[in-house]
Amino acid sequence: MNSNYKENLENLGRVGRLRTLKPLSGRNGCRIVYGGRAMLNLTSNDYLGLAGAKEIHHRFYAGMTDGNILDNFGLGAASSRLLTGDSDNAHRLEETLRLAYDREACLLYNSGYHANIGILPALLGKNDLILSDKLNHASIMDGMRLSSAQHKRYRHCDYDHLEELLATYRNSFERVIIVSESVFSMDGDVADLARLADLRSRFDCLLYVDEAHSIGLYGEKGLGMAEEQGQLARIDLLVGTFGKALASVGAFLLCSETIRGYLINHSRSLIFTTALPPVVLSWNHFIFKEMLTCHARRRKLRDLAAALRGELVRHRLPTDGSTNIVPVMIGEDRLAVVLAEAMQEKGYLIFPVRPPAVPEGTARFRLSLTADMAWADLEPVAAHIAELSERFRS
């Protein structure tokens, strides 16, 4: 049996798709130490630069006292929420999120992955249909597979195709749910939430939007692309995460009170897992309120992303999207690996993104910009990639 696993790993190595764990240390703002060298971190999801902000961490931990060290800063919940892992802090965080989004209810999950594999299977059964954007995150795909509902994928951001599927299949199912990310994690492009909401209303569907790569970055208060596009009230199930721009771990669902109660009783990834630790709940509450005030960070990040895209285009490097996730299309897996290693030699922490994370033939760099970077950090990046790409392709 082990020989089969070994052969698989050897095959992955031969085609440039072997993945390994990469220990990092020495975090200092947007820089981190890898392989003994300090590098500009272009692979992080710390979009607002909050995870690397020492001053913010000092302010958070300044609130720790002997009296609250366990309730607010403890390291273990030691049980699921449905047993003894629930807390006032969990409900306080849910209430803060609910009020910020002006929604009826909120429910915490341990991660975006827990949310996506727990919500869809709980809410949908064999008489239901899931219609999912083809480039939705793997956790959404896994949630569909765990559900007994039928599922189909529409072409990426092709809402005419989605409309065709709805016209064909809507009347054959009890419930139909449209599922999309708002900002797509590998291409950095954006869903048309108004069009999705229109289709949801026209065909009497539910609309499920994953805002993992959007929360903190868009909208007047940083509530995400749904706020930016004015669609918050038209989304039935809005999933957000703390693990990216909010510099933590955990996720939340904004929904109706009925859906919240139903999930508490039927969502297995909520019921059968240990609750988030007290310190995580306290930090999530603290950092969410901090995020609401990060207007300058949001503006700076948009400016940096626009400037880098301009440089990539000027150097004739294929890119896409419109967000702080800036892809650079390489194509061939092995070339992406070699170019990433060469960029690391120049002091840029870039890891190649290869299938199955992206479609075949679209290996790429996923340059992830953060608000604690300066333009001086980023200005040489496009020229370096262009020069190395020409060298290794010739």
Q: Which residues are catalytic?
A: 45, 137, 181, 185, 210, 213, 244
Rg (CA), the chain: 22
One-letter amino acid at 169 equals Y
One-letter amino acid at 392 equals F
Task: Give the Å distances, CA to CA, from 231 to 181, 219, 378.
Answer: 14, 11, 33
Among residues 309, 329, 349, 301, which one has the least CA distance to residue 389?
329
Alpha-carbon span 138 to 358, nearest angstrom: 10
Alpha-carbon span 57 to 237, nearest angstrom: 31
Q: Which residues does residue 240 pair with via DSSP β-bridges, in sequence order?
A: 252
Strands (E), the chain: 24-28, 31-34, 37-41, 105-109, 128-133, 150-154, 175-181, 206-210, 237-241, 251-255, 325-331, 348-349, 352-353, 363-368
3-state DSSP assignment of residue 183: strand
Tokens of 279: 């310190």
Alpha-carbon span 66 to 68, nearest angstrom: 6
Peptide bond before residue 355 is cis, with ω within 30 degrees of 0:
no
Tokens of 316: 């004739």
Alpha-carbon span 102 to 174, nearest angstrom: 29
N- to C-terminal Cα separation, the chain:
42
Alpha-carbon span 250 to 79, nearest angstrom: 16
Task: Give the Å distances, CA to CA, from 355 to 66, 315, 331, 359.
Answer: 49, 25, 10, 6
Among residues 386, 291, 281, 388, which one has the least CA distance to residue 345?
388
Alpha-carbon span 207 to 199, nearest angstrom: 9
